[in-house]
């Protein structure tokens, strides 16, 4: 009986291999040959799933973003408003369990997206989706009377987005400043500033 292959699982495994290479060796080492070696497949097997490096990088980026989005949705289940926003930020910020490695991958993709229109479009679409989630939590907080009087929701969306992105950069470029204590204090201050 022929072996049944789960193609989606194999694509996800290959995308994970890309992130492992970025973490260990940097973005420049992401070649089809290195990916095949990391994933444990023959070079030709990779080509069956991804016709070129561009399609593979796109899939790897979407894999990283989708995993992050799923973790956020799990973390905020059953809560809303500022509690949900705090939990979302806790998931996005680079706490030392796995966050700094994720930040390295995120920054690599930011750099690539800045130079590649196709990746930029995908990245932009997903960042807008994340900002919509931040906006949703802030509007819930406003409806529940949690927000400080006169606080502009769109300005708050920008501030939360910028803070979360900034800590990603800090974790890679100034890791000694991105301690768990600093990250938690940043979230607590942000929520406190938003709260009525």
The answer to whether 97 and 70 have CB atoms below 8 angstroms apart is no
Q: What is the pLDDT of residue 1?
A: 56
Model-wide pTM > 0.75: yes
| For helices 32-39 and 7-25, angle between their N-to-C axes, nearest 10 degrees | 110
What tokens does 4 get? 């049944």
Distances (CA, A) of 191 to 3, 44, 100, 131: 52, 50, 23, 16
pLDDT score of 155: 97
Considering only the C-alpha atoms of the chain, give the largest distance between any 2 of them, rounded to a whole number of Å. 68
| 148 SS3 class | coil
CATH (one of 3.10.105.10, 1.20.1440.130, 1.10.357.10, 3.40.630.30) for 53-194: 1.10.357.10
Segment-wise mean pLDDT, segments of 10 residues, the chain, 196 residues: 71 88 83 88 84 82 88 96 97 84 85 89 93 98 96 97 94 93 97 95
Helix (H, G, I), strand (E, B) or coil at 41: coil
- Following CA atoms 93, 97, 101, 103 in sequence, which dihedral angle do they give, to the nearest 10 degrees? 0
Question: Which pLDDT belongs to residue 148?
Answer: 95
Using CA atoms, how far apart are residues 107 and 28, in angstroms rounded to an integer?
A: 13
The 8-class DSSP code of residue 4 comes to P
Domain ranges of the chain: 53-194
Contact 131, 112 (CB under 8 A): no
pLDDT for the residue 64: 84
Question: CA torsion, points 19, 21, 26, 31, in degrees to nearest 10?
Answer: -110
* 138 in Cβ contact with 191 (< 8 Å): no
pLDDT of residue 88: 97
């Amino acid at each position: 009986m022929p072996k049944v292959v789960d193609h989606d699982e194999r694509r996800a495994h290959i995308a994970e291999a890309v992130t492992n290479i970025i973490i260990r060796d940097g973005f420049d080492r992401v070649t089809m040959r290195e990916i095949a070696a990391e994933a444990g497949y023959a070079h030709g097997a990779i080509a069956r799933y991804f016709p070129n490096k561009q399609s593979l990088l796109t899939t790897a980026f979407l894999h990283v973003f989708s995993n992050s989005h799923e973790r956020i949705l799990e973390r905020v289940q059953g809560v809303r408003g500022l509690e949900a926003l705090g939990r979302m930020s806790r998931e996005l910020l680079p706490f030392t369990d796995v966050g700094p490695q994720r930040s390295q991958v995120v920054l690599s993709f930011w750099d690539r997206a800045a130079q590649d229109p196709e990746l930029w479009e995908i990245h932009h679409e997903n960042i807008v989706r994340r900002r919509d989630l931040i906006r949703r939590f802030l509007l819930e907080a406003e409806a529940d009377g949690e927000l400080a009087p006169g606080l502009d929701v769109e300005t708050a969306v920008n501030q939360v987005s910028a803070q979360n992105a900034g800590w990603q950069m800090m974790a890679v470029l100034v890791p000694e400043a991105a301690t768990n204590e600093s990250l938690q204090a940043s979230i607590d201050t942000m929520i406190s500033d938003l709260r009525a």
